[in-house]
Structure 1
Amino acid sequence: MGIDVAGFTDDQGTKGVWDNFQCKHYNKALAPSQVYLEFGKMIWHSFQKQFTPPRKYYFIAPQGCGMSLSRLLRTPTELKKELEANWEKYCKKDITSTQEIKLEGDFKKYFEKFDFSIFDSKDPLDLVTEHKQTPFHAVRFGGGLNPRPEPLAPPNMINTQENNYIKKLFGVYEEQIGQIGLTAQTIMQHSKWARHLDKQREYFYCAESLKNFSRDNVPNGTFENLQREILDGVDHLTYATYANKLTCMNTIISQAGSLALSANPLISVVHISDKNGICHQLANDDLLDW
C-alpha cells in the first residue's frame, strides 16, 4: 500500500502520528514518472481508511531525487496538478490489481483536500548524518565512536549507589590496618589507604561515565556485554586462595586490566581505568568479592 518503512510516534501505529519512508533503489536520481504511482497509492489507501495519512512521507534513494521531482516536492500545488494530469497513465490501473481507481466522486473530493505538503525527500548524506547521532552508526558503518567526554569526578561524599563496593574496600583496609569498623571519616587517619580509596572511586566513576557514554553511542546491552566479558575473564581467579583480601583484589583487577576485549564496539574508548572500575561495579552488584 505504498509503505516501505513506517516510523511510529505512538502506540496507534499507522492510525496515529507516523512517518513513511518510501525506498527506491535506482542507479539514477528519481524522476516523477517513477513515483507517481506511489503518490497514488498513499492517497487511495488512506481514502480507504487503511491508515491515517502520515505526518511526513519521505522518498529515499541512493541518488536522491532529480530536479523535476525535487521541484514538485517543493511546490505541493504543482505536485497535485501534475499527479492529476498523470493519473490516467500511471495510477488508474496500477494502484490495485482488482479494480481501476478513477479520480472521480468522493475520491476526487478527498484528492482535492489532501495535504500534498507531507511529501518530501531525504538526501542520502543527510540520512548518514542523522544516523551518526544514533547508537547504531559506529557498529554498522565503522569509522570510530564519537569523542568520549571527560569521566565523571567522584563526589566528595560517598553516594548510596557506591555502598556495596565501598563496604568491600573497607573490608580490605580493615584487614591491612588491623582495625574494624572503619568509616569514610576514620579512613582519613590512614593516608595511604585514604589515597587508595580515592583512586578506586575514580576508577568506579570512570566506568560509570563509560556506561553513560554507551547509552548514546552504541546499541543497548553493549556495556553490559563488556562487563560480562571482564567477569568471564577474571572468573577463574575467584576460585583461588589468597593470603589476604588485598592480594585477591589486586590479582583480579590486574587480570581485568590485561584482558584483550577486541570484540566489543566500545573497545576503542576503553581505558585501563574503565576495566578497573568495572571490577568495582561488578563487586557493587555482588558478582565479585574480595
Structure 2
Amino acid sequence: MGNQQSNYKSGFVSLVGRPNVGKSTLLNRLVGQKIAIMSDKAQTTRNKIQGIYTTDKEQIIFIDTPGIHKPKHRLGDFMVRTALSTFNEVDVILFLVNVTEKRGPGDNFVIEKLKTIESPVFLVLNKIDQVHPDELLPIIEDYAKELDFAEIVPISAIDGNNVERLVETIGKYLPEGPQFYPEDQVSDHPEYFIVSELIREKILERTREEVPHSIAVIVESIKRNENDKVEVNAVIVVERQSQKGIIIGKGGKMLKDIGMNARKDIEALLGDKIYLELFVKVQSDWRDKQTYLKDYGYNQDDY
C-alpha cells in the first residue's frame, strides 16, 4: 500500500488446539474467503495453511497448524511436529478451545506443550453462541489455573461474534514491520495445495466413516486448454481397493458428486470456469511409507 504508515505493524499468529475446535472456521472468518477446509472430522488440516489479514494499519499472517493430538502413525507424528514447530516462530499463539466440551486430555496435551513456549498465548474460547454467558466464567477459571494466558478472548467463529475484538487484541502484540504480502493476497499457498484441500473436503463430507484419513489428493496439473477453460487434473490416493469403490460409488455417482461440488468451490477460488478430472488410485499403507509421504507433499525435512 502506497500510503503505508510509518508505524505499520505486521506479524505471525499461530492457531492451535486439539482437532475439531473450529480453527479453520475462525481462519476463514478472519480472512473472509474459504481457504482452509472445514470438516467436522478430526485432523483435516495437514499443512500450514496461511491466511492473511491486511488493513492500512497492520498485516496479520495466520498459520493454521494441524490439530495437536497423540500420534498414531508416521503421518500423525509429522502433523504434531508441524504444529509444534510453528510455536516459536510466531508473535502470538491462539489456543482455541470449544466451550461446549469439558477440558479433556487433548486440551491438556496442548497446554503441556504450550508451557515451554516463549511467545504470548491467548486463550480463545470458541462457540460461545452455544452456552449461557454465566457458564463462561468457570470455564475461563478452569483453563487459567493451568496456564498464565496473555489474553483471554471469548468468540463465536461461526457467527463472527467478538472476532473483531480478537483482531484488535492481536494488534497490540504485533511488532512494527513491513507488509509482507500484497493486500489482495489471502494465502501464500500455491493454488495446487488449496485445490487439493477443497477436493479432500468434499470426499470427507460425503464418505464419513467409510473413508478415514487414509486419503491424499494430488493435483497433478492446472492448465488452460485450447477452449480457454482451466483444466484441473487430480488423483485421489486411497489405501485399499474397498475405499476406491466407495469413492467411485455406484455407477461412478459418488465421484461425480465429489467432482461437481469441488468444482464449484475451485471456480470460486480461481475466479474462472474449470474442467475437473478426478482419478482414484490405490497405494496401500502410503501413510507409513516415507517415500510416499514425500511424494504427497508431507516433507519432513522442512521441519
TM interval, short-chain normalised: under 0.3
The TM-score, its normalising length taken from structure 1, stands at 0.25
Q: Which has the higher contact order (CA 8 A, sep 6+)?
A: 2
The TM-score, its normalising length taken from structure 2, stands at 0.24
Pair member with larger Rg: 1
Q: Which structure's residues are more often strand, by fraction?
A: 2
